[in-house]
Chain A
Amino acid sequence: LAKTTQPISMDSYEGQEVNITCSHNNIATNDYITWYQQFPSQGPRFIIQGYKTKVTNEVASLFIPADRKSSTLSLPRVSLSDTAVYYCLVGDIRANYGGSQGNLIFGKGTKLSVKP
């Protein structure tokens, strides 16, 4: 099972780029890496997902080195509204089919605080 480790908290200022790294040393071949954002009193919301190299969408970039033992979520020019908890998730849901229990492992989350 791929265990994930993230920093507990990070502070930033508006307009800065924020990079949050997740370590997953035991990642399996078929595992994807997914990042979620969660605001208070809400469920997590999908941000970005990747398997290897770099992925970019309209809100973030995800960097995954060749060995895939870590991943870095990059948020460009953060604003106050980016203050939230960010979770990385490693796993392959298809590995759960039929009871093989390739469990989905969430990190404990990184609380990002953006200050003016």
Chain B
Amino acid sequence: DVKVTQSSRYLVKRTGEKVFLECVQDMDHENMFWYRQDPGLGLRLIYFSYDVKMKEKGDIPEGYSVSREKKERFSLILESASTNQTSMYLCASSSSDRADYEQYFGPGTRLTVT
């Protein structure tokens, strides 16, 4: 079974702090994604990576950056956390071999910025 793990289920940070959210997948997938999920807004893509050191912006990249130094690991960075970044963050991965891809999601990290 594909396993996507996220470093924390719950995280509380203060405004202005630098925050790292880590995601690891064990299926040798090329593609990795970061989404945020908010009530009434559904899932919105923040960033996407299709290879090591490659990244592409999604719908809402402002205030975020990402890092992918190894194939299995994709990190989301909040350089200076703000209260409007309080949200559920979901990581996903998928294979690029298939035209009809399927994304595998981690359990999510609920981040609260106070």
Contact = CB atoms under 8 A, between A and B. Distances in A.
A21 interface: no
B12 interface: no
Interface residues of A, number: 25
Interface string B74-113: 0000000000000000101010100111111111100000
A24 B48 CA distance: 22
A106 B100 contact: no
Given A51-B100, A103-B58, A109-B43, 18 more contacts: A34-B102, A41-B107, A41-B108, A42-B108, A43-B4, A43-B92, A43-B108, A44-B43, A44-B103, A46-B102, A46-B104, A93-B101, A94-B99, A96-B48, A97-B50, A103-B45, A106-B42, A106-B43
Which 9 pairs between the two chains have the least Cβ-Cβ distance?
A43-B105, A108-B42, A106-B43, A46-B102, A109-B42, A96-B56, A44-B105, A106-B42, A93-B101
12 contacts: A36-B103, A42-B107, A43-B105, A45-B105, A46-B102, A51-B100, A93-B94, A96-B56, A103-B59, A104-B48, A106-B44, A108-B42
